[in-house]
Amino acid sequence: MKYYQSIIDTIGHTPLIKLNKVTHGIKGTVLAKVEYFNPGNSVKDRIALRMIEDAEREGRLKPGGTIIEGTSGNTGMGLALTAIAKGYKCIFTVSDKQSQEKINILRALGAEVVVCPTNVEPDDPRSYYSVARRLNQEIPNSIYPNQYDNLSNTAAHYATTGPEIWEDTEGKITHLVAGVGTGGTICGTSKYLKERNPKLVTIGIDTYGSVFKKYKETGIFDEKEIYPYLTEGIGEDILPKNVDFDMIDLFIKVTDKDAAIMARRMAREEGLFIGWSCGSAMYGALEYARQHLKEDDVMVVILPDHGTRYLNKIYNDVWMKDHGFLEQRHFATARDIIRARNGATPLITVDKSDTIGFAIKMLNKAGISQLPVADGDNIVGSLNDSTLLNMLIDNPSAKDLPVAEVMGPPFRFVGIDNTVDALSGLIDKENKALLVRDEANQVHIITQHDLLVALTN
Catalytic residues, by residue number, are: 44
C-alpha angle with apex 435: 225 to 212, nearest 5 degrees? 25
Residue 164 has φ and ψ, to the nearest 5°, of: -60, -45
Contact 205, 329 (CB under 8 A): no
d(CA 426, CA 304): 27
Beta strand pairing call for 378-384 and 433-437? unpaired
- Report how far residue 333's alpha carbon sits from residue 127's, in angstroms, rounded to the nearest whole number: 37
Contact 28, 291 (CB under 8 A): no
CA–CA gap between residue 341 and residue 337 (Å, rounded): 7
Distances (CA, A) of 201 to 251, 288, 300, 320, 416: 11, 11, 11, 34, 21
Pairing of strands 201-207, 175-179: parallel
Q: What span, in angstroms and rounded, lies between the C-alpha atoms of 212 and 235?
A: 7
Distance from CA of residue 127 to its chain's centroid? Answer: 22
Instruction: Please name the residue ranges forming H helices in 139-200.
Output: 152-159, 161-168, 184-196
Is 271 buried (19+), middle (13-18) or exposed (0-12) by CB count in 10 A? exposed
Nearest to 412 by CA among 282, 217, 246: 217
Number of residues in the chain = 457
Grouping H, G, I as helix, E, B as strand and the rest as coil, residue 91 is strand
| Whole-angstrom Cα Rg for the chain | 24
Q: Which amino acid is at 284?
A: G
Exposure letters 173-205 (e unless 16+ CB within 10 A, then b):
bbbbbbbbbbbbbbbbbbbbbbeeeeebbbbbb
Could you give the CA distance from residue 36 to residue 235 in angstroms, rounded to a whole number? Answer: 20
